[in-house]
Amino acid sequence: MKKGYKCVVEQNGSAFTAVKGFKAAGVACDIRGKGDLSRLDLALIVSDVPAAAAGVFTTNDVKAAPVLVDSEHLAKARTARAIVAYSGVANACTGKRGISDAEKSCAAVSKRLGVSADEVLVCSTGRIGDFLPMDKIMGGIDKAFGSLKSEDGSFMDGARAIMTTDTHSKTVVARVTGSFGSFSIAGMAKGAGMIEPNMATMLAFFISDAKVPKALLKSSLKWAADRSFNRISVDGDMSTNDTVICLCNGQSGVSAASGEALEAFKEALLGVSRALAKMIVADGEETTRVIEVEVSGAKTRAQAEKICRSVANSMLVKCAWFGGDANWGRIADAVGYARTGVDFDKMDLSYDNVAVLRKGVVKTANADKWRKVVAGKSFSVRINLNAGDASDSVLTADLTEGYVAFNKGE
């Protein structure tokens, strides 16, 4: 059936003001303690009116204080008004003091807005185990309120303020028009290392002027995250702080609670999520290639996902990709040690559309072609198990000498 609406996704879009009823700011308060007041490190996003809110968080058993606080706030409050986020210190593994510091941040924002602290969400990213410099945080919050504007530049400042090892900010805007009217969704994200959400270190914030009931927003956000942020891996490390939050304030006048408007909202949310997820992988710490691992013909989606992750996170496979080496044997090995009951004699393997294996038999005549594919900066590894109808995919990156040097702790 032909869609009755149009959804346009702009990657690296800066048109946050397409979303009605939000303001933002990004300021510098030297959270890292290096005396650098040129580096933005505290972001604030505020809805002009109470907004429906939902979040998806890390499944790591060790959760950072902001993750615990946000989960509690979302369970308590019917709406939310603001997100405050800072970079440089993760506020993870910090015990009761970490929880108290996260709550103090929310209280400071809520006092300025005249709302309950439960209506404020807090996020942080950076080094694990350090305590927050709360005097600087409090000063930064005051400074952010002084800079709060409904301008694209203010939202871009916010996107820069949440960066850690990212080389650039990551923003996307989706505009939707249809018989129901028009609305927009904008998103910003950070992430480059410690990336394998399974909701890295990864934060993503979405704002929309569509009106979406809280329960439906929660299920829609989880649906989109499962198909985007939970299908990427840079280094296989799941963070303590992974958070995706969406605020919908309804200021467009469009209700996306059912029918085509809901379908359009979910499509736009997924489009923005996938675009941001791909930017995160492409910006992986010292990586040089982006690879999509696709598994089809699986018995179940769970089998396909397990094999995707086994290949995507294999150190030997990732090193081969860095060298432009089409070492398909390492991929076949990773498929096998996922231990899902694969029959190698039924398996097909391709680099992009160039056949490497067919029913377990190597197509050596294509060797030059597949080597050319793997020499590129972006390609697909396609694995067909020929055992069922289920499929899945994961975006990943290579592993470089630069990544090791970058993360050796000096």
Considering only CA atoms, which of 279, 281, 361, 379 is closest in space to residue 321? Answer: 379
Q: What is the DSSP string of 96-123?
A: HHHHHHHHHHHHHHHHHHTS-GGGEEEE
**Cα–Cα distance for residue pair 191/195, rounded to 1 Å:** 7
Collapsing DSSP to helix, strand or coil, 351 comes out as: strand
How many CA atoms within 13 Å lie on the side-chain side of 158? Answer: 37
**Closest to 116 measured CA to CA, from 87, 80, 151:** 80
Report yes or no: 392 and 308 within 8 Å, Cβ to Cβ. yes
Give yes or no: 79 in active site: no
Q: Which of 175, 173, 191 is CA-nearest to residue 183?
A: 175
Rounded to whole angstroms, how far apart are CA atoms 141 and 4?
43
Determine contact, residues 328/363, Cβ cutoff 8 Å.
Answer: no
From the candidates 58, 79, 165, 201, give the one annotated as an active-site residue: 201
Active site residue ranges: 201
